[in-house]
Structure 1
Amino acid sequence: MSKKMLPIALSNRHLHLSREDINSLFGEGYELKNFKDLSQPGQFAAVEKVDIIGPKGTISGVRVLGPARNSTQIEVSLGDSFVLGLKPPVRDSGNLSDSPGVKIVGPNGEVELKEGVIIASRHIHMHTSDAEAFGVTDKQTVKVRTFGERAVIFENVLARVHPTFALEMHVDVDEGNAAGVKNGDLVELIIE
């Protein structure tokens, strides 16, 4: 049986903003500017950056990702959470209930979030054809093996299947660095 290989990418701290919060931080009717397209179709790293202020500290220059979302969501690593003085839950994107909030400061204003800070669950984006080829269904939990000197097996990896997704595993920078992987490295999908 051949190995089921896919690329991995490290996700640095970033945030997705609602239309309302874009207006508050950058000005009414402001449109995010594309700095660089991301691997997922239609998603981009914006030119815009903001400061995130927690109870204990600030992280400056946090990249905004576009396009606008229904709700503002900030994704940090465990290390970032210590700097901010927060205890965010490990969650799938969009699951923000009972997560901590922070202050976001932009060039034209600030927003006080009641909730919205998470540590993103490690996950795999899969196009429906990739999921079929790999024998995986949406929301299935799998394992992923890395290679090299610091090889690890990531457990509890959520498969997210959609016809607009491009095949790629996402981990945060802390996890990726601990495993000694870099963007584009190939990893092995394990289904038990």
Structure 2
Amino acid sequence: METNQIELITRMVMEAMEKKENAGNGYMVPVGVSARHIHLTQEHVEALFGPGYHLTKKKDLMGGQFAANEQVTIVGLKLRAIENVRVLGPVRKASQVEISATDAMKLGIKAPLRESGDVAGSAAIAVVGPKGAVYLDEGCIVAKRHIHMSPRDAQAAGVKDGDYVSVKADNERGTVFDHVKIRVDDSFTLEMHIDTDEANASKIATGDTVKII
């Protein structure tokens, strides 16, 4: 193989590697701060709000979800409670409570850090509504931070569903978030979700932007 061919192939390989290494670098992402909330099964909706009851929509969210008008109280094992926890709809196959680490301390429970939907072996918690109460043997978690993207956004950022990236907030705190999972779906709007603990520590508010580094 001639020397110029070897140089050409080497340059192409180096450029491909550099492109892969820099995928997503500098891509700006808006932030949504996720407050504590709960997802319920229809069975639990009726146990908490009455037979035949259906959730009522307050505000549309991404991915076909919505913030409901309904709210509940969550109670930890030491009877410590947090009131006015927003219910998100539509109903799910399994009920799930998402709180911050600070909330977990207040409730006196050990809620594990998990991805949404991964509730096996998670913390137990009681939920109280205006018409009744339910006890969840498992289902209370601290949700892992993540970025929602449409396929078009993912292509522009050079990432794919299931990738993990690092993200930096260029403010006075200059916080870097590692292990941020990418979630891609046609129904998603570009947004990074962090909980209230992460937002307060990094001085980030909903609507601020961060960048993939």
Asked whether the two chains share a fold, i.e. TM above 0.5, the reply is yes
Query: Quick one: which amino acid aligns to residue 172 of structure 1?
Result: D
Of the three residues 39, 46, 55, the one matched with 2:68 is: 46
Alpha-carbon separation, structure 1, partners of 2:43 and 2:190: 31
Query: Could you tell me how far 1:29 is from its partner in structure 2?
Result: 2.0
Query: Could you tell me how far 1:73 is from its partner in structure 2?
Result: 0.6
> Is the strand fraction higher in 1 or 2?
1
Query: Could you tell me how far 1:163 is from its partner in structure 2?
Result: 1.3
Which residue of the partner structure matches residue 159 of structure 1? 182
**Cα shift readout 1:31-57 (whole Å, capped 9, x = no counterpart):** 11112222x142211111101010121
Query: Secondary structure, in 3 states, of the residue corresponding to 2:124?
Result: coil
Q: TM-score, normalised by structure 1?
A: 0.95
1:35-184 to 2 correspondence within 5 Å? 35-38=58-61, 40-56=62-78, 57-184=80-207
For structure 2, the 5+ residue unaligned runs are 1-21
Query: Secondary structure, in 3 states, of the residue corresponding to 1:22?
Result: helix
For structure 1, the 5+ residue unaligned runs are none
Equivalences, count: 189
Asked if structure 2 preserves the Cα contact closer than 8 Å seen for 1:151 and 1:180, the reply is no
Query: Could you tell me how far 1:3 is from its partner in structure 2?
Result: 2.3
Query: Secondary structure, in 3 states, of the residue corresponding to 1:52?
Result: strand
Alpha-carbon separation, structure 1, partners of 2:144 and 2:53: 30
Query: Could you tell me how far 1:67 is from its partner in structure 2?
Result: 1.0
Alpha-carbon separation, structure 2, partners of 1:155 and 1:29: 44
> Is the helix fraction higher in 1 or 2?
2
Alpha-carbon separation, structure 2, partners of 1:51 and 1:30: 18
Query: Quick one: which amino acid aligns to residue 47 of structure 1?
Result: N
Percent sequence identity is: 48
Query: Could you tell me how far 1:157 is from its partner in structure 2?
Result: 0.5
Query: Secondary structure, in 3 states, of the residue corresponding to 1:176?
Result: helix
